[in-house]
Structure 1
């Protein structure tokens, strides 16, 4: 027996023998603030750029209402619970946030907050957002703290405007600007709140440096105030307390000038300056361009007690919400009024696709998976992939997303969308693909590999960043959650570890040669009109080893309905590529091993969705569960096919 298999088999049998009620239960335990503060300062990300680890610990040492979530006496997570509010939740490594923990918290708060009509979750980290939302929590606001160094910047007031100093007598002016500037926006408040916030600023920020860094900006002709920037002190460091410009004066560089003025003025006195911004605020782009760094987003959520989490009422509410979002999308992009409710269509396993008909035409709308979009690099990756698609369309048949105001990726509140012109062509099922299709796709891939994308300025990666996956972690979580795929995963454990190590070694050995390519050119991402293809869904576009891309794509197009790789189709694809690209010199044994990596990565992502680690709703969780079993079978089938594929490639004399 393979070493290590025995312990997992024993564990699996032990779990199966237990009834569900006998599994170790979660407990809520009052925490000693002194100990809790050390864990909080260490494991809760410092998303607000607090000055030091010690300052965070000191802040929490006197906190009340702090609790541990434990299992068998082991600390899994920390949380603040006050009345009907879950606050500043964090996990204790190596444990991961699960649906089970979220439901446990919800149940505890429901029991102790009988007099309240809703449950609130404050300061929810982006990596925990998906599970809370899958349980019915709704975002009320998402914000992030941003920071940059102070320095002397050259910035003069735009022509026709001049800055004026802030004094306590400026209160009425400040309130008037804030009220007008924030109307109908993400930061809109009532008049009393504007007054109270502004009074608080003047009462608590009398230091001359702060008042000098603050400013009102005036129209030089009318001398009317049109913008304001208030700088306060928070935890010993300056903070842009408010910055606002009247709508009629936006786009003229006034906000940028006031912020640059504050950054410059504070340079002799403080090393950095911070600010907070709400998700969806157009100023986010300005802050990015000025060099502000985000500490990561955090959200405030609410769950109505009478809201049905599982069942029809939740689905109905989601449907109404979706239609409302599409109305907003149409207005924002000037697509005309909706003619009917958007219709869900098949569109891959990651995102939601809709057919949308408006007064100006018919469109395909891709609503991007919110869980994926919380990843730090997600937004930039989608922007880059659409740049690649637009440039590739000059040389090969490709369908990039439509641009609005020069942008392909559309953001509406907390959701991201890609909008395409509707096309009536269809993708092919495996049984409909013939050798002519395969040869054509080999030719197209070769032409794609030949495109010079250097004009886009996309930085070439220096090395592969793949790491070994802890398959044992997912097996353990699967057993705890009674996942239907645990037996299949258990049987594959040692193979997965061996394949994973071989795939990473292979890809690391290939990482010196790169091309920009589509990245996921399987049959579902190609539409056909006769034998003329159109390449769609460019979201995986980026750098890849050309021979590895060739192999993976050839396998996609040569599989039949049962996953068997057919020699005639495989050879036709390779021949189409070879004819357009010329002779290829490659270590096919190394490349064939590397072909496992993308499948293993998809397996891990499917496991996360199935276990509610990266998942937004029950439909997505079900898809993840299905894909685990399918992908395990596909990986096994591919591994068994490696010897014969190596033989076919040798026969092609590549």
Structure 2
């Protein structure tokens, strides 16, 4: 049981004796999080998804993220960083992998109650990260999305999965979204920086009005334009299919007043909003049985439904979004 594993982990790392209960914490869609108490402290323990840990190159990705986490923390940007124990942030026990954090007070704002001021502060936070190590990069062909939707549809039909009709009904939309995403990636400028593409509202805690980033395993070097367009839309309602242009503007105002990457043609790369198709693919595999247990399979099914709705919503709002971005950045020239 996970409780026994965590208790042994705390003994081996010298963090003390675990006091029951070990309580699951909601929020994560890939990994599992627990609140763990000892006599002296409270901790958050992240149990990394075994399926994710089997992916090629995953350890290199985590090590790179850990180094970038340290750079961000040293710069005074508010984060909840994983504890380093015996020179390691990632802890391993019996083939399972964990990160351990000091418990962070505060709360995560519900997706439906995010304020324009929180969007502005999120934009500032993202800009501070992007401003740490910006650089022009040599031109190279981007990694393009190459998802074979027809194959997933065939497999879903073979298994008589509940997601089969959903995928069939939206196959053309998904092919069009993938094309738009790839076109946008090819139009990105040759600039790079430290990015945290997972800095959406579920990964920012608010402690007396102050934003603190959590879940930093997705830190990497990437393109700031891609991050800006995706996160500005997520903070302003694209995730819940209820976009508020006031919040989009607030995020971008906060970003631009803190750091300006110089790019203006955001309307031309709006296809980056369709990055959701890659989250959809991951959840299709979970819904079709590539997962730990039935709970995770049900989560995959739920995420397939909600992500398809999100992609349809983006298609419906595409022209409005492009006009909004064009108006905003025309004023910056």
Q: What TM-score comes out, normalization by structure 2 length?
A: 0.93
| Distance change (3 Å), C-alpha of 1:376 and 1:645 | same
1:630 to 306, 309, 313: 306
Provide the secondary structure at the position in 1 that maps to 2:86.
Answer: coil
Match of 1:408 in 2: 89
Match of 1:327 in 2: 7
CA distance, structure 1, for counterparts of residue 261 and residue 191 of structure 2: 16
Contact 1:559 1:565 in 2 (8 A): yes
| Displacement of 1:587 | 2.4
Provide the secondary structure at the position in 1 that maps to 2:34.
Answer: strand
Q: What is the correspondence of 1:353-372 to structure 2 with a 5 Å cutoff? A: 353-372=33-52
CA distance, structure 2, for counterparts of residue 590 and residue 562 of structure 1: 24
1:605 to 282, 289, 310: 282
Contact 2:224 2:261 in 1 (8 A): no
List alignment gaps of at least 5 residues for structure 2. none
CA displacement 1:37-70 (0-9 Å, x = unmatched):
xxxxxxxxxxxxxxxxxxxxxxxxxxxxxxxxxx
Do structure 1's residue 344 and structure 2's residue 21 form an aligned pair?
no
| Distance change (3 Å), C-alpha of 1:497 and 1:506 | same
| Displacement of 1:560 | 7.2
CA displacement 1:129-152 (0-9 Å, x = unmatched):
xxxxxxxxxxxxxxxxxxxxxxxx
| Distance change (3 Å), C-alpha of 1:324 and 1:502 | same
Contact 2:24 2:32 in 1 (8 A): yes
| Displacement of 1:562 | 4.2
Q: What is the correspondence of 1:276-291 to structure 2 with a 5 Å cutoff? A: none
List alignment gaps of at least 5 residues for structure 1. 1-320
Contact 2:35 2:43 in 1 (8 A): yes
CA distance, structure 2, for counterparts of residue 595 and residue 559 of structure 1: 12
Provide the secondary structure at the position in 2 that maps to 1:341.
Answer: strand
2:185 to 500, 503, 507: 507
1:373 to 32, 53, 69: 53
Contact 2:36 2:45 in 1 (8 A): yes
Match of 1:564 in 2: 242
CA distance, structure 2, for counterparts of residue 643 and residue 453 of structure 1: 31
CA distance, structure 2, for counterparts of residue 436 and residue 461 of structure 1: 36
Contact 1:468 1:504 in 2 (8 A): no
CA distance, structure 1, for counterparts of residue 11 and residue 111 of structure 2: 39
Contact 2:288 2:297 in 1 (8 A): yes
| Displacement of 1:471 | 0.3
| Displacement of 1:401 | 0.4
| Higher helix proportion (structure 1 or 2) | 2
Q: What is the correspondence of 1:66-105 to structure 2 with a 5 Å cutoff? A: none
| Displacement of 1:641 | 1.6
CA distance, structure 1, for counterparts of residue 143 and residue 105 of structure 2: 39
CA displacement 1:382-403 (0-9 Å, x = unmatched):
1211221121022311111000
Match of 1:399 in 2: 80
Q: What is the correspondence of 1:167-316 to structure 2 with a 5 Å cutoff? A: none
Match of 1:581 in 2: 259
| Displacement of 1:639 | 2.1
| Displacement of 1:453 | 8.1
2:197 to 519, 529, 539: 519
CA RMSD of aligned residues (A): 2.0
| Distance change (3 Å), C-alpha of 1:635 and 1:528 | same
CA distance, structure 2, for counterparts of residue 355 and residue 525 of structure 1: 16
CA distance, structure 2, for counterparts of residue 548 and residue 467 of structure 1: 15
| Distance change (3 Å), C-alpha of 1:511 and 1:334 | farther
1:539 to 195, 217, 237: 217
2:66 to 358, 368, 386: 386
| Displacement of 1:561 | 8.1
Larger RCO (alpha carbons 8 Å, 6+ apart)? 2
Provide the secondary structure at the position in 1 that maps to 2:20.
Answer: coil
CA distance, structure 2, for counterparts of residue 432 and residue 399 of structure 1: 23
Do structure 1's residue 621 and structure 2's residue 297 form an aligned pair?
yes
| Displacement of 1:640 | 1.9
Match of 1:274 in 2: none
| Distance change (3 Å), C-alpha of 1:503 and 1:514 | same
CA distance, structure 1, for counterparts of residue 7 and residue 142 of structure 2: 42
Q: What is the correspondence of 1:444-483 to structure 2 with a 5 Å cutoff? A: 444-452=125-133, 462-483=140-161
Do structure 1's residue 491 and structure 2's residue 169 form an aligned pair?
yes
| Higher strand proportion (structure 1 or 2) | 1
| Distance change (3 Å), C-alpha of 1:553 and 1:560 | closer
Match of 1:594 in 2: 272
CA distance, structure 1, for counterparts of residue 233 and residue 31 of structure 2: 24
CA distance, structure 1, for counterparts of residue 102 and residue 134 of structure 2: 25
| Displacement of 1:359 | 3.0
CA displacement 1:595-647 (0-9 Å, x = unmatched):
212x01000000000001x3111111110011001000001111222211221
| Displacement of 1:531 | 2.3
Structure 1 runs of 4+ with >3 Å offset: 459-463
CA distance, structure 2, for counterparts of residue 568 and residue 348 of structure 1: 28
| Distance change (3 Å), C-alpha of 1:561 and 1:406 | closer
Do structure 1's residue 429 and structure 2's residue 110 form an aligned pair?
yes
